[in-house]
Amino acid sequence: MKMTIGEIASAINAKVDNVPEDSLKQEVDGVCFDSRKMKPGQLFIPLSGDHDGHDYIESAISNGAAATLWSADRVSRLPIAIPALVVADPLASFQELSRYYLSKINPRVIAITGSNGKTTTKDMIASILSSTFHVTKTHDNFNNEIGVPYTILQMESNTEFLVVEMGMDRPGQLDFLSKLVQPDVAIITMIGEAHIEFFGTRDKIADAKMEITHGLKADGMLIYDGDEPLLAERAKHIETIKRTFGRHESNDIFPTETTDSKYQTTFKVNLWPDVELTLPMIGDYNVNNALAAISVGQVFQIHPTLIEKSLAKLDLTKNRTQWLVGKKGEKILSDVYNSNPTAAKEVLTAFQETPTKGRRIVVLGDMLELGAQSKAMHAGLAANIDPSQIAMVYLIGSDMAALYQRLQPVFAPENLHHYAADQLDQLTTDLDSQLATDDEVMLKASHGLHLENVVAKLVK
């Protein structure tokens, strides 16, 4: 993003203080809401949450902030060292600025949501489109009311496609985000149990996911999992162009064969019977994500050869079914970006099918936001843990106690371990002491458990 202070003020209808007339022409290069990460020339966005961002203005200034948004109810503390753009609500103005900038750059917008697979699908779509166009995609999991505007404002002026991931944990959230970005294509990867604590049933989750269509352009397209009855029923009432993907032959695109190996998955699709496609990741379930991405490639007339090459060289978001090598030579499957019952079962199944000369070891942490059904859903993972394939299990978190109890009859005490959420260091020490060169270890949990810290220590 490159805009002058004057243009920003006009776009969000801000009152400008501490700005000589000629300073309105000063160019701002990007936005930042974490003063510690501020780069010279950026606009500081003081958001309020657990802490009030206004309290960190001195840090932002010392790190090079060119200007700042500023809440009208804090004008008594107005900074004098840099221009201040006074607004009623910095978050709302931040969002409005992103809306203005999106309209200014005017890329095609691909919006993705789903209970599982949206980040991987985002990466796949961005890879395919990047073979032909200039693309900006959501960084990490910046997929909420703050992350989506931030993604928009990271676009370079030559961006032709914006691939934006959208998360949700309450009704109305996707309605807002969809109307903000006004997608040309909306994608729903699947309906699972993620965030069921807030919705109660999968039906209500499906209702909320369909909100992604609320901002869809008049000539836009909805791409969704045609094997999911909850989506198929709701899609009937959406008057837009639709395409489906899935395993059944009734879908517009479906796989005709799939093959898993230790580090990759190969498959063919009905559209190109003789073309073998390769994903540099394990798990048959990832084929569905690829089908959605291929559908986008088709819509924008990407040649099949380019799609094939783009999927094969896929650059995945860190800690998504990512194979690493530990300091002892052990193979580590890091999938600690997030977790829910559907995703955990899928990766457990795939992991148990990988060939190994050593032992397979599983580390699982709590899956958050599952509500009253949480303990039962954690215990339900037992069906996907085969003691003939898994040598040791390490569990962490209060709800994983339910799985620990379920597994006690089938694992010897020395091979089954449970830790409280604040015992991450102890888990790491115990696990590291057991690992050997030929072993494989898989780690998966919701991000709030911070298993990425365990991964970091194992690979040092």
Residue 199 lies in a domain: yes
Per-residue burial over 202-236, b = 16 or more CB atoms within 10 Å of its CB, e = otherwise: eeebbebbbbbbbbbeeebbbbbbbbbebbbebbe
Based on the structure, what is the number of domains in the chain?
3
Length in residues, the chain: 460
Torsion angle of alpha carbons 368, 374, 377, 379, nearest 10°? 100
124/270 same-domain check: yes
pLDDT in tens, 252-306: 999 999 998 888 999 999 999 999 999 999 888 999 999 999 999 999 999 999 9
261/305 same-domain check: yes
60/198 same-domain check: no
Give pLDDT, residue 195: 66
- For residue 169, the one-letter residue type is D
Task: Confirm or deny that 457 is annotated as ligand binding.
Answer: no
Residue 97 lies in a domain: no
**Mean of the pLDDT values across residues 215-236?**
97
Higher pLDDT, 137 or 192: 137
What is the distance of C-alpha 401 from the center of its chain? 27
Task: Confirm or deny that 220 is annotated as ligand binding.
Answer: no
139/244 same-domain check: yes
Task: Confirm or deny that 244 is annotated as ligand binding.
Answer: no
Would the pLDDT of 21 be above 80? no
Give pLDDT, residue 198: 72
Give pLDDT, residue 11: 97
| Host domain of residue 67 | 2-88
Task: Confirm or deny that 119 is annotated as ligand binding.
Answer: yes
Whichever domain contains 435, its CATH number is 3.90.190.20
262/153 same-domain check: yes
Could you tell me which residues are beta bridge partners of residue 440? 331, 360
**Mean of the pLDDT values across residues 104-116?**
96
pLDDT in tens, 57-100: 999 999 999 999 999 999 999 998 999 999 999 999 999 999 99
Are residues 138 and 110 in contact, defined by beta-carbon separation less than 8 angstroms?
no
Distances (CA, A) of 422 to 245, 248, 284: 42, 44, 34
Residue 100 lies in a domain: no
Task: Confirm or deny that 288 is annotated as ligand binding.
Answer: no
Give pLDDT, residue 261: 85
Residue 172 lies in a domain: yes
Task: Confirm or deny that 18 is annotated as ligand binding.
Answer: no
Domain final residue pick, 264, 294, 312: 312
pLDDT in tens, 321-355: 889 999 999 999 999 988 999 999 999 999 999 99
Mean pLDDT, the chain, integer: 95
Give pLDDT, residue 439: 97
Percentage of the chain lying above the pLDDT 90 cut: 87
Whichever domain contains 16, its CATH number is 3.40.1390.10
Task: Confirm or deny that 172 is annotated as ligand binding.
Answer: no
Span of 123-137, 182-196, 271-285 with lowest mean pLDDT:
182-196
- pTM for this model (two decimals): 0.91
